[in-house]
Amino acid sequence: MTTSDLDQARSLISDHFYSHAVDVLSPAPWRAEFHVASGDAVTVGDCYFGADVRMRFGDLGAYHVDVPLTGELVWRQAPREMSVATPTCAAVFQPVGESTLERWSGDCQLLAVKIEQDALERELAAMLDAPVGQRVLFAPTFDLSRGEGASWLRLLKLISADAREQQSLLHHPEVGDRLRDSVITGLLLAGQHQYRPMLDGAGAVAASPRAVRRVVEAVRADPQRSYTIGELARIALVSRRSLQYAFQRHLGTTPMAYLRDVRLELSHDMLRDCDPSVTTVADVAYRSGFAHLGRFAAAYRTRFGVSPSTTLRS
């Protein structure tokens, strides 16, 4: 949305993020622009107000990160002191604490990331393979100029750019869900909080064969389902890293590679049984759980030595 109407801008921010009060500090004419990609657990907004503004919020009820791409953001969240977010330093808000954007500068293009508290804590529990006893307490800032912070910022920029394209893979559930899960995982690995030491050393031991068997049975029962590695770990009742180690140890592959192989077997059987005058290769690919026809064809040829269309015609 592009607007110069303050009520319209306030309504959009309230609908996708949080209720707030806003004061325009610059007397000159302004024009705001917002691009927002909303999901159940993660909302990413590319926001530009075009004027210096001050915003006041109560408790957010969610974890939130503000990343200026240009300009700066002066902010605070009680009981912490005032701080400044820049293109190399993200602002991190907790779910609880009165929050204020003291000055969102008119030249500041902002990536705003809202993460539901339950979703972040579920993801952390899956990564630790243990329940989360206390609310995650993030440090108020983290570095975006290098390492995990820089990688996380690149992921945000990708999602923000892709959200503007109606035909982008972000809108496909199999890809979009993974990207949104990666935003949560990336924040847990890039930000500083009390669980970081446990995360840095978590999952070094492989899960039991029983955990692998749970995933194998689930995948074979419903291979067309749009699984993520996080969902497979929840089925296995172990952390994702433990599941990765277990699959390598017991099956010599990864969970997602195993899923791909099961889908290839399914597609192979379908292609041999289908009538080529009625069914296409694309039909079989999508029914087998493959979202990208070109990648399906390449993987099929590698596995079976012929193209999918050759199997269908024969």
DSSP string spanning 65-80? EEEESSS-EEEEETTS
Residues paired with 57 in a beta bridge: 99
Non-local (6+) Cβ contacts of 306 within 8 A are none
Least Cα distance to 61 among 34, 88, 94, 35 occurs for 94
CA dihedral sign of residues 105, 111, 115, 121 = negative
Answer whether 113's CB lies under 8 Å from 156's CB.
yes
- Domain segments of the chain as ranges: 2-117, 122-200, 201-257, 265-313
Q: Terminus-to-terminus CA distance in the chain, angstroms?
A: 53
For 272, list phi and psi in degrees, rounded to 5. Answer: -70, -30
What distances in angstroms separate CA 225 from CA 173, 235, 241, 299, 304, one per listed residue?
11, 13, 22, 19, 23
CATH, range 2-117: 2.60.120.10
Nearest to 136 by CA among 177, 93, 99: 93
Could you read off the pLDDT tens digit of each residue along the chain, which spans 314 residues? 898 889 999 999 999 999 999 999 987 889 999 998 887 899 999 999 999 999 999 999 999 999 999 999 999 999 988 999 999 999 999 999 999 999 999 999 999 999 999 999 988 887 776 778 889 999 999 999 999 899 999 989 988 887 777 666 666 666 667 777 889 999 998 999 998 887 775 444 566 788 899 999 999 999 988 888 888 988 988 777 788 888 888 888 899 999 999 999 999 999 988 888 888 988 888 888 887 888 888 888 898 999 999 998 88
Angle between helices 240-251 and 117-128 (to 10 degrees): 40
Q: Fold for 265-313, please state it.
A: Arc Repressor Mutant, subunit A (1.10.10)
